[in-house]
Structure 1
Amino acid sequence: MTDALGWRKKFGVLAPSTNTIVEPDFHAMAVRGVTSHISRIHIRDQDLSSDEKMVRILEQIDDEILLAVDRVMTAGIDYLIMAMSAETFWEGLKGNRAFVKRLEDYTGLKVAVGGSACQAALEAFKVNKIAVITPYQAVADERLCGFFSDIGVEVVRLKGLRCPTAIAIAEVSENDLRNHLQELDGDDVDAIVQMGTNLSMLRLADEAERWLGKPVIAINAAIWWYALRHNDIQDRVYGCGRLLREF
């Protein structure tokens, strides 16, 4: 017997309890026969106003993540997605692989994470000089640059928005993001990458690729694309960027 709606795959999605963007983004990119099922990781203190408090958020994630995994596993999911990017690049490429292994060993399922998805997306576009926009504090931006360095990608420019709380990430306006993309662009970068799954850039990235003439990779699109392709689902999704439309 197969699930009436998720007859191809049922994706379990781990997201911070403060995140209001990734769930509707994944629904917007849905393909027939694939369903996504959110399990929220409890964030008790969402303050992101300093490097120390950014680290504290990640400690909360680490403390709570397996509880969220246990809950979503009761739905009989086939595959797991970690819908928070910072946790997956914090210790560089080695840390990304260790994070994936931890979840795979615990669940017996394959796992999609932001770090692996970004690496695969940049390889698909064959680019190695990028600009990056993040909602993070400086400590996370430094860790992110280390991850990209590990995979042979140069971060030419980075814009960290220093969002004061986890919820504030979702409140960054499209107009502000558009301006930041224009500031980041230049002949010395081959692509722009957006990190932070609670930062709403899915539709804007698709639009920006047309007026910038280069890939603009929204993290939620990259994670969803990676999850689909990792499960041999080749459906094209339109309106969410070149990655889902062409690769």
Structure 2
Amino acid sequence: MACSNRDFRIGLLVPAGNTTFEPDFISAFSSQISIHAHRVIAKRSYPYESHESMDDINEEAVKEVEKLARARVHFGAYGFTTATFYRGRVFAEQLEQRLTQVLGVPTVVPSLALLEALAFLKVKKISVVTPYPQWNNETLKMFLNDTPYEIVAFKGDERPKEVAKKNYFWHQSPDEAAAFIKEASHIGADAVVLPCTAWRTFEVIEELEADLNIPVVTANQATIWSLARRASIEYALRPRGTLFTKGNGELGIGKDFLFPPTLL
């Protein structure tokens, strides 16, 4: 697929307080791809994330994505991992279909992209590290337990939710996130899984892989990779970590892949 400069548009539906999803997308692609974002927020205010708050924001997401369609984007992505795994895989698939239908073009959701990436890497055992408090972690475990992947280690925010609320771990700097992840046990794991699109882990993938010696898969990385793969715009994707650089030809990017001069 060949496009002239900035001829391919990606539409992002982003939770209002998330300031990480867009920068990660922008840094992942060459200038041939333009990124267009629309923010979404729940109608009501909730003290903590819950099934009710996720239901609320997802309904708003389905409504708001219609506005993003006005940008005539070619592909879309929804930047909220918890809101796509909290009711299980079937729900995630149904939500992805609803967003796709309203946007009018294929839309990727992070939780399914993570599973797609793990399958691509032929992973069997995973170590999961999250910035989430208890409720998010419990629902994530339920989601992952319904997949072929064995969780050999799981680390999240163990502080009481009242304490966590004052400074959620997904607000960590990349260095702080990397230190938190390195402190966890990854013994026996084939890959490390880092959910949460607001957590700045995309920026430290190479550092983590060099330290841990196994692939690292983040929510934003998997979403970007899945979208590029489905949209056949891998020619504009800047390699980042094993997932992007695995040289089996399936994605079209190997460790010796060179961008055409016009993309640099």
Quick check: TM above 0.5?
yes
Residues 57 and 160 from structure 1, CA distance in 2 versus in 1: closer, same or farther, beyond 3 angstroms? Answer: farther
Deviation at 1:209, TM superposition (A): 0.4
Q: Is the 8 A contact 1:18 1:46 kept in 2?
A: no
Residues 47 and 38 from structure 1, CA distance in 2 versus in 1: closer, same or farther, beyond 3 angstroms? Answer: farther
Q: Is the 8 A contact 2:171 2:198 kept in 1?
A: no
Could you tell me which amino acid in structure 2 is paired with residue 207 of structure 1?
E
Cross-structure match for 1:192: 192
Q: Is the 8 A contact 2:11 2:68 kept in 1?
A: yes
1:63-82 CA deviation, whole Å, 9 max, x = no partner?
A: 32133202211111111111
Cross-structure match for 2:118: 122
Whether 1:105 aligns to 2:101 is yes
SS at match of 2:30: coil
SS at match of 2:208: helix
SS at match of 1:119: helix
Whether 1:148 aligns to 2:148 is no
Question: Could you say which structure has the larger radius of gyration?
Answer: 2
Cross-structure match for 1:243: 243
Cross-structure match for 2:71: 75
Could you tell me which amino acid in structure 2 is paired with residue 110 of structure 1?
P
Counterpart CA distance in 2 for 1:110 and 1:99 is 12
Could you tell me which amino acid in structure 2 is paired with residue 13 of structure 1?
L
Deviation at 1:172, TM superposition (A): 1.3
Q: Is the 8 A contact 2:51 2:86 kept in 1?
A: no
Cross-structure match for 1:229: 229
Q: What RMSD over aligned residues (CA atoms) do the two structures have, in Å? A: 2.3
1:67-102 CA deviation, whole Å, 9 max, x = no partner?
A: 320221111111111111111112222111111121
SS at match of 1:176: helix
Answer with 224-233 or 107-116: which moved more: 107-116
Counterpart CA distance in 1 for 2:223 and 2:50 is 22
Q: Normalising by the residue count of structure 2, what TM-score does the alignment of the two structures yield?
A: 0.82
Could you tell me which amino acid in structure 2 is paired with residue 214 of structure 1?
I
Q: Normalising by the residue count of structure 1, what TM-score does the alignment of the two structures yield?
A: 0.87
Q: Is the 8 A contact 1:114 1:223 kept in 2?
A: yes
Counterpart CA distance in 2 for 1:91 and 1:59 is 9
SS at match of 1:74: helix
Could you tell me which amino acid in structure 1 is paired with residue 181 of structure 2?
L
Cross-structure match for 2:12: 13
Could you tell me which amino acid in structure 2 is paired with residue 150 of structure 1?
D
Whether 1:94 aligns to 2:87 is no
Q: Is the 8 A contact 2:194 2:217 kept in 1?
A: yes
Deviation at 1:108, TM superposition (A): 2.8
Could you list the runs of 5+ residues in structure 1 that have no partner in the other structure?
Answer: none
Counterpart CA distance in 2 for 1:67 and 1:126 is 36
Cross-structure match for 2:165: 164
1:32-59 CA deviation, whole Å, 9 max, x = no partner?
A: 42221111002564743xxxx4334313
Counterpart CA distance in 2 for 1:46 and 1:176 is 27
Counterpart CA distance in 2 for 1:34 and 1:47 is 38
Residues 159 and 172 from structure 1, CA distance in 2 versus in 1: closer, same or farther, beyond 3 angstroms? Answer: same
Deviation at 1:173, TM superposition (A): 3.1
Counterpart CA distance in 1 for 2:110 and 2:52 is 20
Deviation at 1:157, TM superposition (A): 1.7
SS at match of 1:237: coil
Deviation at 1:182, TM superposition (A): 2.1
Provide the aligned length of Structure 1 versus Structure 2. 239
Deviation at 1:175, TM superposition (A): 3.7
Residues 57 and 136 from structure 1, CA distance in 2 versus in 1: closer, same or farther, beyond 3 angstroms? Answer: farther
Counterpart CA distance in 2 for 1:81 and 1:174 is 23
